[in-house]
């Protein structure tokens, strides 16, 4: 099929090397206007699959770095992806699996089957293996674990015994730990002679006592500089706390960030060194945790940009349904004042202003609070002070915008009392919005509910309903 | 002052070591119910300052890791902070400065003065020095740079010549680069004998050709394992692209994340190796960029949780003012239909439901789009497909919620047409909301405006005004 087309002029006949050469010769944006390199590959692979040229599709994907290959698979149409994964079979790079989006990985796992997954998992570092296996459903998980050699099986089962999102789940078993009575020379010899069983890459050597409790760590840079006869004990950095395996991965990530670590020692409940966490995994955790908070505040559970239409509709449905509920609640509050609105339609014109401003001011407080809770900046110790501050901010903003909005409505409707009523409702709603914006996430956090998920619903329900109630209630009392 | 109080029973007389011992003996949450360790220190320092015992306040802060000390300074009351920084003077750990919140750093810089800052900056790595200096205002910056030794000055000025948030700004000059014709033995000797001029910590050695263009890199783990006579060329990992100094730091961060790098080689416009970026700084970048997007979507510019009331009010004012504008615009749309509402008050009850649902559905699309743009997942190459998908999702959700909300209003007001009108308005508004939610951030991104900052305003303005217009307009046409 491809041979029929004239060479050089059509991108369909180019090899990856030729594409890369063209991209390198020109600026990539000139070479492929409006497309980046991944887009081009994605298009070429789709075209190859459409033409039934699976060999070419395979070659295009296999030539890529695993991170790019995962990115391409993530973005493919589900049907194309299934065909390509089938064509790849056992040749799929095991490193691709942990880098895929969860949903895409499910599909790939389905295509590879239990034996295929087990073979891929066996070739992975223990942390990647756990990341892939923990996504499987119970039955698949059991079957994959059974298909593994006994040694891998024990490691995986031990990791799965720790809670989800804990240090124990994300750690790697592969590490270098040496006894404290060794010298630098002993350590170097150990690293050089046992290379097969030790990890390829490491940035620090951990030092343990006889009970296998960590004493501290020595960076590779320091090992390179030390004389061979130096006792390892003399150059150890003992000023680092190990990470308990049960610690939440978000807390681990914050410790890495604050301490500028590149790797951490993980210990079990008895304080024995059982693994390490490296910073490349922490980068992913920080990215994912921040993404989760941001998306949840926006009312979506995952990044569903490449999900199919129906899946996206279902994923966003719950949040919209809850919002329909709160909107109907707010509407029923307005319903209480139908008589008032009938007498004075201007109220219907202005009431969304009060509700909307409350929602916006509350969202500001809510966003800052959710972030501060995630960063552990907001704690029971300073909560009272911050609540007092947010209350003062809400009241001040309420007063400022009461004057502004009150004046506008006075000018608009030529009636001073309508401005005063609007202003008073604004002060009430913005003050309560500030309180709700901080108290609701604090309360949810205390009850171990993720404040990013549920706070927005409460906030909207209250700022809408209360906004309408305060404005229409005050109007009923003072304007009629 | 402290000596007058009975020992052991009051926490005010405890040393840091005693506090730590107490915390270690018990679970920290039992030892200090409702306070974490930072809270306790913060309280003790505040109390010491209130009692005028600056020596104790100093001691309490100086005993901490610089990251914890920065955290404590961030959270202190501004007056206390100024007093403490004055008392610390030159003893302040230079590492604290880059770790402080910007606003707090400004205050600390003010207290330390130009000479104090220059002395601190001189002791820092070049990336930290640049981070501190770039925050100063023009005049202070010039004076601090002049107060530096010529060598530091040149490095700082060169870094400042690169754009803000670029690789050139965040890189460190301190690195280890060796010529490609050296052996492992030559490299080790260089590292061991020139330790004073080389960085303390490094995870990779960079290999350059005669023109100082990078060939690739060798990890320290690999150096430890290689025989001394091995040519460095043989063990170099040449499969890593260098980072151009002009590259945006967000793009650098994504490359680190995808490639699992621990350090990157930075090259100038001529391709010469001029510095390195290490993963500990990337962790901060990912954290900050995600925080920025999240906060901006929530209508706040910074994490202002510890800012004073008036500063917070001013920081949040602009966004609320813009929202008042869009709310008034939406109100004026309602104003067009005063006559219709007068005849049928039920419309006033239901109209916020249409507007609110549009806002929520649009925010979902907007959030996902902003995140996908930040992750470079959404590109001109796939934009058309994603726009089509979001349109389909908006239409589907519109139909689903039209049925739901239409039925509820029919039951509520006992009139079928009111349900139909509400349903039609819902379909229109949710479809447009989906389009706005994706097109506005895409357009802003194309014009190099941060989509997280400005998209929300457009979205609310459109979903509110259009929601009211569609519902009340349809009602005027079909219900009266």
The helix or strand, by DSSP H or E, that contains position A63, with its residue range, turns out to be none
Do A135 and A206 fall into the same domain?
no
The answer to which of A303-307, A459-463, B12-16, B161-165 has the lowest mean pLDDT is B12-16
- C-alpha distances in angstroms, A158 versus A166, A169, A276, A279, A421? 13, 9, 14, 22, 64
Interface test with A, best of B317, B331, B396 (most A CBs within 10 A): B331
Cβ contact A316–B364 (<8 Å): yes
CA nearest to B71 within chain A: A377
Contacts of A393 by beta carbon, 8 Å cutoff, 6+ apart: A365, A434, B309, B312, B313, B316
Q: Name chain A contacts of B348, Cβ cutoff 8 Å.
A: 334, 338, 341, 345, 348, 351
Encoded tokens for A279: 């910073």
Query: Is A113 in the B-facing interface, judged by CB distances under 8 Å?
Result: no
Q: Name chain A contacts of B349, Cβ cutoff 8 Å.
A: 331-332, 334-335, 338
Do A355 and A437 fall into the same domain?
yes
- C-alpha distances in angstroms, A351 versus A212, A443, B114, B419? 68, 29, 54, 22
CB A277 within 8 A of CB A170: yes
Do B116 and B183 fall into the same domain?
no
pLDDT at B254 > cutoff 60: yes
Cβ contact B262–A279 (<8 Å): yes
Contacts of A249 by beta carbon, 8 Å cutoff, 6+ apart: A165, A166, A167, A169, A170, A285, A289
From CA A241, how far away is CA A214, in angstroms rounded? 9
Do A214 and A331 fall into the same domain?
no
pLDDT at B7 > cutoff 80: no
Q: What is the CATH number of the domain that holds A116?
A: 1.25.60.10
Query: Is A408 in the B-facing interface, judged by CB distances under 8 Å?
Result: yes
| Host domain of residue B45 | 2-162
- Average pLDDT of adjacent 10-residue blocks, chain A of 480 residues: 41 58 50 64 89 90 87 86 85 82 81 85 86 85 90 89 93 93 95 87 94 95 93 93 94 92 95 95 90 90 82 90 95 95 94 95 94 87 89 96 96 94 97 96 91 87 95 93
From CA A477, how far away is CA B288, in angstroms rounded? 49
From CA A395, how far away is CA A446, in angstroms rounded? 26
Do A367 and A431 fall into the same domain?
yes
Q: Classify residue B294: in a domain, yes or no.
A: no
Q: B187: pLDDT confidence band, cut at 50, 70 and 90? A: very high
Q: Classify residue A437: in a domain, yes or no.
A: yes
Do B24 and B156 fall into the same domain?
yes
Cβ contact B377–A305 (<8 Å): yes
Cβ contact A381–B464 (<8 Å): no
pLDDT at B6 > cutoff 80: no
Q: Classify residue B287: in a domain, yes or no.
A: no
pLDDT at B143 > cutoff 50: yes
- Determine how β-strand B243-244 pairs with β-strand B263-267: parallel
CB atoms within 10 A of CB B150: 7
Distance from CA of B397 to the nearest CA of A (A): 6
Q: Which strands sit side by side in the sheet containing A177-179, from one edge to the other?
A: A177-179, A204-208, A214-219
CA nearest to B99 within chain A: A258
Query: Is B404 in the A-facing interface, judged by CB distances under 8 Å?
Result: yes
Do A59 and A191 fall into the same domain?
no
DSSP designation for B165: T
Q: Classify residue B283: in a domain, yes or no.
A: no
**Greatest alpha-carbon span in chain A:** 95
B217 strand-pairing partners: B206, B237
Cβ contact A342–B346 (<8 Å): no
Q: Which of A313, A348, A464 sits opposite B396 (nearest CB)?
A: A313
Closest by Cα among A472, A435, A249, A453 to A350? A472
From CA A386, how far away is CA A370, in angstroms rounded? 13
Q: Which of B220, B279, B401 sits opposite A220 (nearest CB)?
A: B220
From CA A250, how far away is CA A164, in angstroms rounded? 12
A235 — phi, psi (to 5°)?
-110, 10
- C-alpha distances in angstroms, A266 versus A212, B65, B67? 12, 21, 21
Interface of A with B in 10-39 (CB under 8 A): 34-36, 38-39
Do A313 and A279 fall into the same domain?
no
From CA A118, how far away is CA B87, in angstroms rounded? 62
Domain end marker among A133, A162, A191: A162
Closest by Cα among B187, B352, B141, B258 to A335? B352
Q: Name chain A contacts of B218, Cβ cutoff 8 Å.
A: none
- C-alpha distances in angstroms, A313 versus A205, A309, A321, B216, B400? 49, 6, 12, 47, 10
From CA A143, how far away is CA B116, in angstroms rounded? 65
CB atoms within 10 A of CB A414: 10
Query: Is B220 in the A-facing interface, judged by CB distances under 8 Å?
Result: yes
CB B48 within 8 A of CB B60: yes
pLDDT at B8 > cutoff 50: no
Q: Name chain B contacts of A393, Cβ cutoff 8 Å.
A: 309, 312-313, 316
Q: Classify residue A171: in a domain, yes or no.
A: no
Give the model's pLDDT for residue A7. Answer: 40
CA nearest to A286 within chain B: B287
Interface of B with A in 80-99 (CB under 8 A): 99
Cβ contact B382–A257 (<8 Å): no
Do B15 and B38 fall into the same domain?
yes
CB A250 within 8 A of CB A165: yes
Go through A428-441 and write b for each residue having 16 or more CB atoms within 10 A of its CB, e for each that does not.
Answer: bbbbbbbbbbbbbb
From CA B18, how far away is CA B63, in angstroms rounded? 13
Contacts of B68 by beta carbon, 8 Å cutoff, 6+ apart: A258, B38, B41
Q: Which of A99, A338, A364 sits opposite B298 (nearest CB)?
A: A364
Give the model's pLDDT for residue B361. Answer: 95
Q: Which of A225, A382, A400 sits opposite B191 (nearest CB)?
A: A225
Go through A308-344 and write b for each residue having 16 or more CB atoms within 10 A of its CB, e for each that does not.
Answer: eeeebbebbeebbebbbebbbebbebbbebeebbbeb
Cβ contact B367–A397 (<8 Å): no
pLDDT at B404 > cutoff 90: yes
Interface of A with B in 363-382 (CB under 8 A): 363-364, 366-369, 371-372, 375-382
Counted across chains A and B, CB pairs separated by less than 8 A come out at 355
How many domains are contained in chain B?
3
Per-residue pLDDT tens over the stretch B307-350: 888 889 988 999 999 999 999 999 999 999 999 999 999 999 99
CB B434 within 8 A of CB B362: yes
Do A254 and A153 fall into the same domain?
no
Cβ contact B220–A225 (<8 Å): no
Closest by Cα among A366, A51, A354, A306 to B388? A306
Q: What is the CATH number of the domain that holds A260?
A: 3.10.580.10
Q: Name chain A contacts of B96, Cβ cutoff 8 Å.
A: none
Cβ contact A305–B368 (<8 Å): yes
From CA A439, how far away is CA A436, in angstroms rounded? 5
Contacts of A252 by beta carbon, 8 Å cutoff, 6+ apart: A167, A170, A243, A264, A277, A282, A285
A275 — phi, psi (to 5°)?
180, -175
CA nearest to B282 within chain A: A283
Q: Classify residue A112: in a domain, yes or no.
A: yes
Query: Is B101 in the A-facing interface, judged by CB distances under 8 Å?
Result: no
Do A466 and A324 fall into the same domain?
yes
Interface of A with B in 39-58 (CB under 8 A): 39-40, 42-43
The three-state secondary structure class of B303 is coil
Give the model's pLDDT for residue A175. Answer: 93
Please indicate whether residue B1 or residue B103 has the higher confidence score (pLDDT): B103
Give the model's pLDDT for residue B455. Answer: 87
Cβ contact B298–A188 (<8 Å): no
CB atoms within 10 A of CB B79: 9
B77 — phi, psi (to 5°)?
-65, 140
CB atoms within 10 A of CB A50: 11
Closest by Cα among A186, A203, A224 to B194? A224
Query: Is B206 in the A-facing interface, judged by CB distances under 8 Å?
Result: no
Q: What is the CATH number of the domain that holds A417?
A: 1.10.357.20
pLDDT at B14 > cutoff 80: no
Domain end marker among A297, A328, A346: A297
Q: B5: pLDDT confidence band, cut at 50, 70 and 90? A: very low
Contacts of B378 by beta carbon, 8 Å cutoff, 6+ apart: A305, B369, B372, B386, B442
Highest mean pLDDT among A20-34, B116-130, B207-221: B207-221
From CA B444, how far away is CA B455, in angstroms rounded? 8
Q: Which of B324, B386, B464 sits opposite A404 (nearest CB)?
A: B324
- Determine how β-strand A177-179 pairs with β-strand A204-208: parallel
From CA A120, how far away is CA A449, in angstroms rounded? 36
Distance from CA of B55 to the nearest CA of A (A): 24
Q: Up-side HSE of residue B271: CA atoms within 13 Å toward CB?
A: 9
Cβ contact A219–B201 (<8 Å): yes
Domain end marker among A297, A326, A360: A297
Contacts of A428 by beta carbon, 8 Å cutoff, 6+ apart: A398, A466, A470
Q: B405: pLDDT confidence band, cut at 50, 70 and 90? A: very high
Query: Is A241 in the B-facing interface, judged by CB distances under 8 Å?
Result: no
Contacts of B474 by beta carbon, 8 Å cutoff, 6+ apart: B421, B424, B425
Give the model's pLDDT for residue A135. Answer: 81
The residue ranges of DSSP E strands in B190-268, in sequence order, are 204-208, 214-219, 243-244, 263-267
From CA A58, how far away is CA B287, in angstroms rounded? 36
Q: Which of A65, A291, A389 sits opposite B309 (nearest CB)?
A: A389
Query: Is A348 in the B-facing interface, judged by CB distances under 8 Å?
Result: yes
Query: Is A208 in the B-facing interface, judged by CB distances under 8 Å?
Result: no
Q: Classify residue A402: in a domain, yes or no.
A: yes
Q: Classify residue A168: in a domain, yes or no.
A: no
Cβ contact A36–B363 (<8 Å): no
Encoded tokens for A41: 């590959």
Please name the residue that has the structure tokens 């104090």. Answer: B116
Cβ contact A381–B306 (<8 Å): no
CB atoms within 10 A of CB B26: 11
Distance from CA of B112 to the nearest CA of A (A): 24
Cβ contact A327–B357 (<8 Å): yes
Encoded tokens for B296: 């901006």
Encoded tokens for A480: 């009629």
Do B349 and B470 fall into the same domain?
yes
The answer to which of A41-50, A323-332, B49-58, B115-124 has the lowest mean pLDDT is B115-124
From CA A279, how far away is CA A290, in angstroms rounded? 16
């Amino acid at each position: 099929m491809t041979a029929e087309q004239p060479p050089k002029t059509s991108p369909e006949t180019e090899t990856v090397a030729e594409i890369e050469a063209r991209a390198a010769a020109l600026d990539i944006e000139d070479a492929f206007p409006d497309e980046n390199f991944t887009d081009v590959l994605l298009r070429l692979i789709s075209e190859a699959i459409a033409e039934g040229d699976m060999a070419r599709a395979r070659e295009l994907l296999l030539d890529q770095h695993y991170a790019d290959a995962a990115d391409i698979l993530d973005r493919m149409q589900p049907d194309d992806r299934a065909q390509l994964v089938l064509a790849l079979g056992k040749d799929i790079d095991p490193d691709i699996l942990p880098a895929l989006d969860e949903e895409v990985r499910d599909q790939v796992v389905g295509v590879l089957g239990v034996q295929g997954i087990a073979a891929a998992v066996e070739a992975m570092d223990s942390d990647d293996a756990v990341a892939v296996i923990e996504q499987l459903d119970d039955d698949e998980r059991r079957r994959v674990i059974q298909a593994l050699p006994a040694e891998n099986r024990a490691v995986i089962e031990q990791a799965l015994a720790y809670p989800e999102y804990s240090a124990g789940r994300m750690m790697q078993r592969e590490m270098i730990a040496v006894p404290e009575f060794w010298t630098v020379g002993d350590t170097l010899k150990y690293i050089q002679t046992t290379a097969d069983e030790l990890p390829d890459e490491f940035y620090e050597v951990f030092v343990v006592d006889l009970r296998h409790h960590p004493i501290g760590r020595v960076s590779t840079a320091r090992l390179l500089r030390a004389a061979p006869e130096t006792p390892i004990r003399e150059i150890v950095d003992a000023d680092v706390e190990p990470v308990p395996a049960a610690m939440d991965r978000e807390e681990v990530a914050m410790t890495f960030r604050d301490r500028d670590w590149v790797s951490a020692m993980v210990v079990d409940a008895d304080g024995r060194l059982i693994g390490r966490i490296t910073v490349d995994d922490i980068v992913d955790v920080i990215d994912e945790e921040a993404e989760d908070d941001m998306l949840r505040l926006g009312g979506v559970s995952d990044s569903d940009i490449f999900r199919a239409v129906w899946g996206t509709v279902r994923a966003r449905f719950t949040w919209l349904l809850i919002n329909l509920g709160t909107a109907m609640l707010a509407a029923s509050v307005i319903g209480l004042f139908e008589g008032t609105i009938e007498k004075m339609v201007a109220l219907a014109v202005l009431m969304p202003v009060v509700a909307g401003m409350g929602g916006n001011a509350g969202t500001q407080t809510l966003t800052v609070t959710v972030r501060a809770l995630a960063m552990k900046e907001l704690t029971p110790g300073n909560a009272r002070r911050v609540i007092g501050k947010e209350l003062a901010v809400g009241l001040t903003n309420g007063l400022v915008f009461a004057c502004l909005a009150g004046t506008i409505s006075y000018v608009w409707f030529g009636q001073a009392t309508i401005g005063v009523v609007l202003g008073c409702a604004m002060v009430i709603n913005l003050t309560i919005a500030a309180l709700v914006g901080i108290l609701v996430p604090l309360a949810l956090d205390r009850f171990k509910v993720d404040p990013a998920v549920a706070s927005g619903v409460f906030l909207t329900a209250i700022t809408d309903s209360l906004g309408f109630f305060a404005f229409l209630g005050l109007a009923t009392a003072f304007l009629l």
